[in-house]
């Protein structure tokens, strides 16, 4: 099978998690007395979660503390920023009326500013203010009927940053229907905060993986770089991998989550400029120094497609897959697509200690 063909098998269909990571030893491992403590808490951001802390043998307690703190960070940020949680800061902002100041934490305001900057950096392809469009298309998915041109235009009228003012302690909207959705950035931000929390405990290495979006630092117990696996969506096995020393990988997939309207599949990612779900890019995986950056650009590239590769910051790499299973079109920047090698690897957790995912 050609490289082109097997990657299409890996990424062109709709599994929620397209990229995974594990403590796979790539060459036997030197095992200099390091252990990986692994925790898989449930109920984090409505998806799977794996946290790993690497410590010297005997320091497992330190690892447990680091993992508990990382988990607490993920939950804390979810509580602040999820629009699925009724009382979150973002939900309060979304429910607010016109010109009604909403007090927000410095952290939420900072992330909103970062999201505003990202909108500018991506030419409006990444825009957290497109929630009215997201809701419109979600409702269309439920009713089975495409929104009308007028409905799309109406939602576009209340999309964009012009109607939102961010001050030192609060956010104000100019009209009530303006709403934001941090679904394309908050997970990345939370992963970064969880990694920072873990680092404070002085662990030798670690990894935070939330639903296939991840960031790692330091070294796995083998002493080698971390291996990032690209999964075969048709079978429970690994098709390819690339290695990552430090950094984040996030994937956005048009087919990973979709709604079906009048027999057509629509992605959960919206092109705010057209007011419609994206169609062309099937999967975008981004490698960046931080998960926040990787998360933003994975979504943005899903909108921009191949021309978006030119817009990527210098230290950001990406793998794009468009087309379909029979004729995939691969493109990328940096190590991709060349670096995705076909290898059959066997997951091993050298000396891993599974810790209870306590709350
Ligand atoms: P991700 O899976 O990281 O690509 O994030 C997708 C989520 O971000 C969606 O479920 C929406 O909540 C939100 N979203 C959809 N389209 C956009 C967009 N163009 N810019 C920013 N966020 C978006
Ligand atoms: Mg994203």
The answer, yes or no, to whether any atom of ligand 1 lies below 6 A from the CB of 295, is: yes
**Residue 210, SS3?**
strand
Q: Quick: pLDDT tens for 38-86.
A: 999 999 999 999 999 999 999 999 999 999 999 999 999 999 999 999 9
Question: What would you report as the CA-atom Rg of the chain, rounded to the nearest whole angstrom?
Answer: 21
Pairing of strands 353-354, 34-39: parallel
pLDDT of the residue at 258: 72
- Interatomic CA distance for residues 300 and 309, integer angstroms: 10
Question: Using an 8 Å Cβ cutoff, are 351 and 25 in contact?
Answer: no
- 0.85 exceeded by the pTM? yes
Q: Quick: pLDDT tens for 253-308.
A: 755 567 788 888 888 999 999 999 997 766 888 999 999 999 999 999 999 999 99
The answer, yes or no, to whether any atom of ligand 1 lies below 6 A from the CB of 51, is: no
pLDDT of the residue at 349: 42
- Interatomic CA distance for residues 115 and 163, integer angstroms: 15
Name every residue whose Cβ is closer than 8 Å to that of residue 298 and which is 6 or more positions away in sequence. Answer: 213, 250, 251, 252, 284, 285, 286, 318
Ligand 2 centre to CA of 119 (Å) is 13
Pairing of strands 276-277, 281-288: unpaired
Confidence of residue 118 (pLDDT cuts 50, 70, 90): very high
Ligand 1 centre to CA of 270 (Å) is 7
Q: How far is CA 303 from CA 167, 236, 277, 327, in A?
A: 29, 29, 9, 20
Ligand 1 atom with the smallest distance to the CA of 119 is: 20
Strand partners of residue 267: 258
Q: How far is CA 155 from the centre of its chain?
A: 25
Confidence of residue 341 (pLDDT cuts 50, 70, 90): low
Name every residue whose Cβ is closer than 8 Å to that of residue 123 and which is 6 or more positions away in sequence. Answer: 304, 311
Ligand 1 atom with the smallest distance to the CA of 298 is: 4
pLDDT of the residue at 223: 82
Q: How far is CA 258 from the centre of its chain?
A: 16
**Residue 290, SS3?**
coil
Ligand 1 atom with the smallest distance to the CA of 302 is: 4
Q: Is the pLDDT of residue 144 over 90?
A: yes
- Interatomic CA distance for residues 327 and 3, integer angstroms: 12
Name every residue whose Cβ is closer than 8 Å to that of residue 179 and which is 6 or more positions away in sequence. Answer: 83, 93, 94, 129, 131, 132, 135, 158
Q: Which ligand is nearest to the CA of 248?
A: 2
The answer, yes or no, to whether any atom of ligand 1 lies below 6 A from the CB of 299, is: yes
Average of per-residue pLDDT across 95-115: 98
> Tokens in use for 321?
């897959």
Confidence of residue 233 (pLDDT cuts 50, 70, 90): very low
HSE, side-chain direction, 13 A CA sphere, residue 338: 3
Ligand 1 atom with the smallest distance to the CA of 185 is: 3
- Interatomic CA distance for residues 9 and 248, integer angstroms: 23
Ligand 1 centre to CA of 181 (Å) is 8
Confidence of residue 145 (pLDDT cuts 50, 70, 90): very high
Ligand 2 centre to CA of 296 (Å) is 5
The answer, yes or no, to whether any atom of ligand 1 lies below 6 A from the CB of 118, is: no
Query: Which of the listed residues 46, 134, 212, 298 should we mutate to test ligand 1's pocket, taking the one with most ligand atoms within 8 A of CB?
Result: 134
HSE, side-chain direction, 13 A CA sphere, residue 262: 5
Range scoring the smallest mean pLDDT among 67-71, 182-186, 187-191, 240-244: 240-244
Confidence of residue 93 (pLDDT cuts 50, 70, 90): very high
Ligand 1 atom with the smallest distance to the CA of 187 is: 3
pLDDT of the residue at 58: 92
The answer, yes or no, to whether any atom of ligand 1 lies below 6 A from the CB of 270, is: yes
CA quadruple 261, 267, 268, 269: dihedral sign? negative
* Burial (Cβ within 10 Å: 0-12, 13-18, ≥19) of residue 149: exposed
Average model confidence (pLDDT) for the chain? Answer: 84
Ligand 2 centre to CA of 299 (Å) is 4
The answer, yes or no, to whether any atom of ligand 1 lies below 6 A from the CB of 296, is: no
Q: Quick: pLDDT tens for 5-40.
A: 222 222 222 222 333 344 433 333 444 489 999 999
């Amino acid at each position: 099978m050609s490289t082109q063909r097997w990657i299409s098998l890996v990424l062109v269909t709709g599994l929620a998690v397209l990229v995974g990571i594990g403590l796979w030893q790539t060459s036997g491992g030197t095992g200099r007395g390091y252990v990986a403590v692994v925790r898989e808490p449930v109920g984090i951001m409505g998806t799977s979660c794996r946290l790993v802390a690497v410590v010297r043998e005997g320091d497992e307690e330190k690892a447990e503390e680091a993992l508990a703190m990382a988990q607490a960070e993920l939950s804390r940020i979810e509580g602040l920023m999820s629009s699925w949680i009724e009382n979150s800061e973002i939900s309060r902002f979304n429910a607010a009326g016109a010109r009604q100041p909403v007090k927000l934490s410095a952290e939420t305001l900072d992330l909103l500013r970062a999201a505003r900057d990202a909108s500018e950096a991506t030419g409006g392809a990444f825009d957290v203010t497109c929630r009215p469009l997201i809701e419109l298309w979600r409702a269309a998915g439920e009713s089975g009927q495409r929104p009308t041109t007028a409905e799309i235009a109406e939602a576009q009228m209340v999309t964009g940053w012009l109607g939102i003012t961010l001050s030192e302690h609060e956010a104000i909207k100019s009209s009530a229907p303006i709403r934001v959705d941090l679904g394309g950035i908050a997970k990345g931000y939370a992963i970064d905060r969880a990694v920072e929390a873990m680092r404070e405990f002085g662990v030798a290495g670690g990894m935070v993986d939330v639903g296939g979006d991840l960031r790692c630092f330091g070294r796995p117990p083998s002493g080698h770089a971390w291996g990032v696996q690209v999964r075969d969506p048709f079978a429970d096995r690994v098709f390819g991998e690339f290695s990552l020393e430090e950094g984040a990988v996030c994937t956005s997939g048009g087919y990973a989550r979709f709604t079906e309207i009048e027999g057509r599949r629509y992605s959960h990612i919206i092109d705010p400029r057209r007011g419609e779900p994206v169609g062309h890019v099937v999967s975008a995986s981004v490698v960046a120094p931080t998960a926040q950056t990787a998360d933003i650009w994975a979504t943005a590239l899903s909108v921009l497609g191949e021309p978006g590769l030119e817009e990527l910051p210098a230290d950001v790499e990406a793998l794009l897959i468009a087309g379909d299973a029979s004729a995939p079109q691969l493109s990328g920047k940096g190590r991709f697509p060349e670096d995705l090698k076909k290898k059959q690897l066997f997951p091993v957790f050298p000396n891993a200690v599974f810790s209870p995912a306590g709350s």
